[in-house]
Amino acid sequence: MTDIQPVILLSALLFTIGVVGVISRRNALIIFMCVELMLNSSNLALVAFARQWGNLDGQLFVFFVMAVAAAEVAVGLALMVAIFRTKHSTNVDELSQLKG
Amino acid sequence: MSAEFLVFLVVALISVASALGLLLSKNAIYAAMFLILNMVSLAVIYLLLNAPFIAAVQVAVYAGAIMVLFVFVIMLLGAEKLNAPETRPGLKWQQPLALALGVALAFQALYVVFARGITAPANVIEAGPLAIGRLLFTTYLFPFEVASILLLAAMVGAVVLTKKDN
Amino acid sequence: MAILLLPILIPLIAAAINAVFGPKLGERTSGWLATLACMASFACSVVLFAQVAGQSEGGMNTNLFPWVWVENLHVSFGLLVDRLSAALMLIITGVGALIHLYSIGYMHGDSRFSRYFVYLNLFVAFMLVLVMGNNYLMMFVGWEGVGLCSYLLIGFWYEKAKNTDAARKAFVLNRIGDVGFIVGLLLMFSVFQSLNFSDVLGVGETGFKIGAAQLPFVGLITLLLLVGATGKSAQIPLLVWLPDAMSGPTPASALIHAATMVTAGIYMIVRSHVLFDAAPSSANVVALVGACTALLAGSIALRQYDIKKVLAYSTVSQLGFMVAAAGLGAYTASIFHLMTHAFFKALLFLAAGSVIHGMEHYAHNMAASHDEKHIDPQDMRNMGGLARKMPLTALTFLAGALSLAGLPPFSGFWSKDEIILAALERNPVVFALLAVTAVITAFYTGRQLMLVFWGTARTRDARNAQESGPLMTLPLLLLAILALFGGLLNFPGGLWLEHWLEPVLGAEPAAGFNVAIAILFSTLTIVALLVAFGLYRYGGRETQVKAQTGLKGALNRGWYLDDIYRAIFVIPFYALASFLARVFDLGGIDGVVNGIGRLVNTVALGARRYQSGFVRMYGLVMLFGVVAMLTWFMLSAR
C-alpha cells in the first residue's frame, strides 16, 4: 500500500474520537481507554510516516510509545483502584475537590 | 482499486466503528471489547504498512496485556455499569460543546491531510524483528534502557499506590 | 596639633566609658570619672588659652582631616582656637567642671546616675565642638549635639509626662530655629562657595572685606542666622521652650540652660560679626529682638512662683541683653555679659538646686509616712526663712542675685552697664527697653530673695530644710567668688577682655564708663530691690495660692504665649494631623491599599469559578486552545 493519505485520515478520525471521549465521558475507566485510543491513532500515524520515508525510526517510536503506554496504564489503573477505595466511584465529576 | 486498499477500507471502517462504539457504550466491559477490536484492526493496518513486528507487538502487548489489565480492573472494582446519572446539571452544555470542538478538530485534520497528497515509495525495506532489534540495540539503546527504568518505576508506583496502609 | 582635639576627646571618652560600664562602676567612680574628665578638659583649655595668649593674633587653625568633600563643597574636620573660642572654652569647661562636681552630690541616689553624667560629658564635648569648629558645619554639628543633650537632660526623669513634653517642646522649637540656621548656611554656601570661617569671615586675615557680589545676600543670611539664634538662645518668638526646660535636673539647667548652650546663639552672632557688621539693618533687627525679649521675659519673671521658673525667665531676659548688645555691635560687651552671666546664673541655679535639695530633705528623710501631703519643693510660696537653715546657700545665692540685679561691685553690674551704655549711644529704643528691664530685673530678684530666704518658714518642709553637703556648697562658693569678681575681666579701668578680643572682633569704639549712668542705674537697682524687700518682707500677699487675674495673671501665664502658640500652631496642627490620620490616611491611603486588596479578592472570587475541579472542563478548555491554535496556524500559513 503506497497511498498514505487515507491512513493519516483514519488516524486523525480516531484521534478526534478519542479526544471527544476523553472530554465528554464521566467514567474514569472509559476516559482512560479513550486516551489509549488517542495513543493508538498517533501510533498509526507514526507507522504510516515510517512507511512514507522508507525507514524504521517511526516504528521504533511506536515501540517506545507502547512502553510508555504500558507504564501509564499500570500507574493510572493503580491510582484508580486507590481512588475507588476511598470514593467508591470512578466518576470524575465526583473527584472535584481540587477547585478554587 | 487494489486489493490492499480494499482490505484497508474494510479494516478502517471496522476501526472507526469500534472507536465510536467505545465512545458511546454504556458498559465499561463493552467499551474494553470495542477497544480491543479497534487495536486488532489497527494491527492489520500495520501489516499493510510494512510493519509486521509492530503489528505483532500491538496484538500481544496492547490488545493482550494492557487490555487484560483494563478488564481485570473493571472486574475488580465492579465498575462495569457506571453510567451514573448526570450529577452536575451545570455541565450539561459541556458534552455538546466537546462534540462541536471535536468535529472542528476533525475538519482541521481533514483539511491538513487533503491539502497535499502523501505517497510512499513502492519498494519496502526489511522491517522484521531482526531489523527492529538491531536498531533498538544500536541507535536507540539509551532510550531503550530509559524505557526499562520507566517500566520499573511504574511497577513500583503501582505497588505503592495499591498497597493498603498498614 | 592633636592637643586641639584633646579637650573634646577626653569628655567623649569618659562619656563612652560611663555609657558602657557606668551602672557597674558605682556612683562614686562614675561621677568622679566624669568630673575629672571635665577638669582635664579644663586643663587642656588652660594650656590652649596660654598658647593663644602667647600669639599676637590669629590663633590656631587646623584642618584635621577632610570631612565633606563633594564638588566644590570642601569642609574639613577643622578646629580653630583663637582668643574668642579660647575664652569660651574656659567658661564651658570651668563652669562645667564645677557643675559636674556639684552634680555628684545633687544626683546622689538617682537610679540613672551614670547616664546623667554620660549626657553631661557628651554635652561638654559637643559644646566644645560648637565653639572650636573652624567652619559653620562643625558649628552646626556642635549646635545639634548640644540640642540633643539638652533634649535628653530635660526629659531625664522621663517617668513624668510633663518632663517629656517639655523635652519635646524644646526639641521642636530648636528644630524650627535650626531650619533657619541651615537654610542660612545653604544660602551662605551658594553665595560664598564655602562654609569656612576663613573664607566667609576672614578669620585669621587682616583687612578682610566681603566681596561686592556677596554683599546683597548678607542681609538675608544674617536674618536666617538670627532665626537659628532665636531657637537656641530662646529669643522672641521661640523663647517658650526654655522655661519648660527647667524640668530637667537642676545642675543640667545650670550648665545647659543658663551658662553655656543657650549662649550658643550669641557666640554664633559674635563669631559672624563680620556679616552682621556688613548688614546694619539685620543688626538692628537683632538688637530689637534681644531688647524686646529682655523686657518680655523680665516682666514674666515678676509673677512666677517656681524658683527655677523665675531664674529661667531671667535667663531669657539676660540672653536678650546679650543678643541686643551683639546687635548693637557691642560684641565685647555681649561676650563679657555672657561670661559674667555664666558665673552668676550658674551660681543661682546651683543655689536654687541646693534650696530644692534642702526642701526635699523632709519628704525624703523625715516624713512619717508617704501619706503626708506632698509639698512642691520648688514653689517659693512654700519656702521662707531658709537663710537660717541654709546659710551658705543663702549667702551664695545672695551674691548671684545681687550680681543679676546689677548692684556694684558684683560682676553683673559691669557687664550690664557696658551694654546699657552701648545702647544709649547707638539706639534709644533699645536703651529704653533695656533700662526698664534692668529695673524689673532688680525687682524680681529682690522678690525672690525675700520669698525664699527671708521671713519665717511657711511650711513643714521649709522648717525642716537642711544645708547641702560640701560637694554642693564648694562649687557654690567658687562660683560666688567668680560672680563677685568676674567684673574685673573687663573692668572699665583695664578693659582687659576688650583688648584680648580685639584681634578677633576688630577694634571697637572703646566702651567708656559713664559715671552718671552708672550711679543712676545703681540707684535704680537699689530702689527696686528695697521696694521688693518691703513688699515681700513677710512673703507678701502671694503666699496664698489663688487664681491670678488681669495683668498679674497674664504675667504669671507668661503673657499667654504658650496659649497663643497652642491656639495658632498646635491646635491647627493637631487638627491637620488628625484630619490626615483619619480622613487622608484611613480614607485615602488605606482606602487605596484596601481597595486593591478588595479588587484582587473580587477578581479572584470571580475567577475561582473557572477552577471548578472538573477534569473534563479543563480538557475542554485545553481542546479549545488546541483548535484555536491550529486555526491560527492554518490561517497564517496561507
How many CA atoms does the CB half-sphere of C590 hold within 13 Å?
Answer: 8
The answer as to whether B25 is a domain residue is: yes
The domain that holds B23 is classified in CATH as: 1.20.120.1200
Structure confidence at residue B86 (pLDDT): 64
Residues B63 and B142 in one domain: no
- Min CA distance, C628 vs chain B (Å)? 10
- Among A23, A95, A98, the residue with its CB nearest the CB of C619 is A23
Residue indicated by cell numbers 504500558: A70
Whether cis (ω within 30° of 0) applies to the bond prior to C409 is yes
The reply to whether C623 touches chain A by the CB within 8 Å rule is: yes
Residue B91: is its pLDDT beyond 90?
no
What b/e readout covers B149-158, taking b as 16+ CB neighbours within 10 angstroms?
Answer: ebeeebeebb
Whole-angstrom Cα distance, residue C422 to residue A86?
A: 106
The reply to whether B150 touches chain A by the CB within 8 Å rule is: yes
Phi, psi of C265 (to 5 degrees): -60, -40
Number of domains in chain B: 2
Backbone conformation region of residue C202, classed left if phi is above 0, alpha if psi is from -120 to 50, else beta: left
- Contact criterion met (CB < 8 Å) for B49 and A69: no
List of chain A residues whose C-beta atoms are within 8 Å of the C-beta of residue B127 = 56, 59
Whole-angstrom Cα distance, residue C410 to residue C400?
A: 8
List of chain C residues whose C-beta atoms are within 8 Å of the C-beta of residue A93 = 614, 616
Whether residue C300 contacts residue C558, with contact meaning beta carbons closer than 8 Å, is answered with yes
Whether residue C365 contacts residue C414, with contact meaning beta carbons closer than 8 Å, is answered with no
Cα-Cα-Cα-Cα torsion C407, C410, C411, C415, nearest 10 degrees, comes to 20
Whole-angstrom Cα distance, residue C47 to residue C44?
A: 5
Structure confidence at residue A59 (pLDDT): 92
Whole-angstrom Cα distance, residue C220 to residue C209?
A: 18
Whole-angstrom Cα distance, residue C125 to residue C34?
A: 12
Residue B13: is its pLDDT beyond 60?
yes
Residues B59 and B45 in one domain: yes
Domain that holds residue B54: 1-81+106-122
The mean per-residue pLDDT over the stretch B14-18 comes to 95
Cell of C562: 504658650
The reply to whether B13 touches chain A by the CB within 8 Å rule is: no
CA-based nearest residue to A70, from C270, B147, C281: B147
Q: Which helix (H) or strand (E) holds C546?
A: none
**Residue percentage of chain A with pLDDT more than 90:** 49
Whether residue B29 contacts residue B71, with contact meaning beta carbons closer than 8 Å, is answered with yes
Residue B21 burial by Cβ neighbours in a 10 Å radius (0-12, 13-18, 19+): middle
Q: What residues of chain B, 69 to 98, have a C-beta less than 8 Å from chain C?
A: 88, 91, 94, 97-98
Structure confidence at residue C510 (pLDDT): 61
- Min CA distance, B90 vs chain A (Å)? 11
Q: What residues of chain B, 108 to 137, have a C-beta less than 8 Å from chain A?
A: 109-110, 113-114, 117-125, 127, 131-132, 135-136
The answer as to whether B23 is a domain residue is: yes
- Contact criterion met (CB < 8 Å) for B94 and C624: no
Q: pLDDT confidence of A16, banded at 50, 70, 90?
A: very high
Whether residue C84 contacts residue C268, with contact meaning beta carbons closer than 8 Å, is answered with no
Q: Which helix (H) or strand (E) holds C431?
A: helix C428-453
- pTM of the predicted structure, to 2 decimals: 0.69
- Contact criterion met (CB < 8 Å) for A23 and C620: yes
Backbone conformation region of residue C196, classed left if phi is above 0, alpha if psi is from -120 to 50, else beta: beta
The DSSP code sequence of chain B is --HHHHHHHHHHHHHHHHHHHHHH-SBHHHHHHHHHHHHHHHHHHHHHTT-HHHHHHIIIIIIIIIHHHHHHHHHHHT-SB-------GGGTTHHHHHHHHHHHHHHHHHHHHHHS--B--SS----SHHHHHHHHHTTTHHHHHHHHHHHHHHHHHHHHHHS---
Q: What residues of chain C, 588 to 607, have a C-beta less than 8 Å from chain A?
A: 604, 607
CA dist C577 → A88, C167, C172, C563 (Å): 65, 21, 16, 19
Whole-angstrom Cα distance, residue C74 to residue C529?
A: 55
Whole-angstrom Cα distance, residue B138 to residue B27?
A: 45
Cell of C33: 570619672
What b/e readout covers C557-574, taking b as 16+ CB neighbours within 10 angstroms?
Answer: ebeebeeebeeeeeeeee
Whole-angstrom Cα distance, residue C524 to residue C435?
A: 10
Q: pLDDT confidence of A46, banded at 50, 70, 90?
A: very high
- Contact criterion met (CB < 8 Å) for A100 and C623: no
CA-based nearest residue to C276, from C327, C224, C320: C327
Cell of C231: 531657637
Whether residue A68 contacts residue B150, with contact meaning beta carbons closer than 8 Å, is answered with yes
Residues B36 and B112 in one domain: yes
The answer as to whether B13 is a domain residue is: yes
Whether cis (ω within 30° of 0) applies to the bond prior to C237 is yes
The mean per-residue pLDDT over the stretch A15-30 comes to 90
The answer as to whether B20 is a domain residue is: yes
The reply to whether B8 touches chain A by the CB within 8 Å rule is: yes
Note the pLDDT tens digit of each residue in C350-371. 999 999 988 888 877 776 666 6
Residues B71 and B151 in one domain: no
Residues B111 and B149 in one domain: no
- Among A1, A8, A13, the residue with its CB nearest the CB of B118 is A8
The reply to whether C634 touches chain B by the CB within 8 Å rule is: yes
- The set of chains that have 3 or more CB pairs under 8 A with B is A, C
Residues B1 and B55 in one domain: yes
What b/e readout covers B31-49, taking b as 16+ CB neighbours within 10 angstroms?
Answer: bbbbbbbbbbbbbbbbbbb
Q: pLDDT confidence of B84, banded at 50, 70, 90?
A: low
CA dist C444 → A93, B4, C268, C466 (Å): 97, 132, 30, 25
Whether residue C349 contacts residue C253, with contact meaning beta carbons closer than 8 Å, is answered with yes
Note the pLDDT tens digit of each residue in C185-241. 999 999 988 888 888 888 767 667 777 788 888 999 999 999 999 999 999 888 899
Phi, psi of A98 (to 5 degrees): -80, 75
Structure confidence at residue C542 (pLDDT): 55
Specify the amino acid at residue C597: G
Residues B70 and B134 in one domain: no
CA-based nearest residue to C422, from C500, C331, C308: C331
Residues B71 and B141 in one domain: no
Residue B143: is its pLDDT beyond 90?
yes
- Min CA distance, A96 vs chain B (Å)? 11
Whether residue C384 contacts residue C454, with contact meaning beta carbons closer than 8 Å, is answered with yes
Whether residue C37 contacts residue C125, with contact meaning beta carbons closer than 8 Å, is answered with no
- The set of chains that have 3 or more CB pairs under 8 A with A is B, C
The reply to whether B19 touches chain A by the CB within 8 Å rule is: yes
Residue B87: is its pLDDT beyond 90?
no
Whether residue C305 contacts residue C542, with contact meaning beta carbons closer than 8 Å, is answered with yes
**Residue percentage of chain A with pLDDT more than 70:** 99
The mean per-residue pLDDT over the stretch B105-131 comes to 81
Whether residue C63 contacts residue C36, with contact meaning beta carbons closer than 8 Å, is answered with no
pLDDT less than 50: residues of chain C:
none
Structure confidence at residue B92 (pLDDT): 76
The answer as to whether B28 is a domain residue is: yes
List of chain C residues whose C-beta atoms are within 8 Å of the C-beta of residue A96 = 612-615
- Min CA distance, A87 vs chain B (Å)? 12
- Contact criterion met (CB < 8 Å) for B91 and C617: yes
Axis-axis angle for helices B141-162, B129-137 (nearest 10): 90
CA-based nearest residue to C461, from C360, C571, C563: C360
The answer as to whether B93 is a domain residue is: no
How big is the CA angle at C424 (ends C423 and C425), to the nearest 5 degrees? 90
Backbone conformation region of residue C66, classed left if phi is above 0, alpha if psi is from -120 to 50, else beta: beta
Whether residue C185 contacts residue C227, with contact meaning beta carbons closer than 8 Å, is answered with no
Binning chain A into helix, strand and coil, the percentages to the nearest 5 are 80, 5, 15
Structure confidence at residue C61 (pLDDT): 85
Residues B117 and B150 in one domain: no
Whether residue B105 contacts residue A21, with contact meaning beta carbons closer than 8 Å, is answered with no
Task: Determine the 3-state secondary structure of C490 from DSSP.
Answer: helix
The reply to whether C621 touches chain B by the CB within 8 Å rule is: no
- Contact criterion met (CB < 8 Å) for A90 and B79: yes
The answer as to whether B72 is a domain residue is: yes
The reply to whether C626 touches chain B by the CB within 8 Å rule is: yes
Find how far residue C394's CA is from the centre of its chain: 26
The answer as to whether B100 is a domain residue is: no
Residues B150 and B110 in one domain: no
Residues B59 and B116 in one domain: yes
Reported ipTM: the value is 0.90
Residue indicated by cell numbers 560629658: C121
List of chain A residues whose C-beta atoms are within 8 Å of the C-beta of residue C609 = 100
Which residue from A minimizes the CA distance to B143?
A64
Residues B132 and B74 in one domain: no
Structure confidence at residue C109 (pLDDT): 86
- Contact criterion met (CB < 8 Å) for C607 and A100: yes
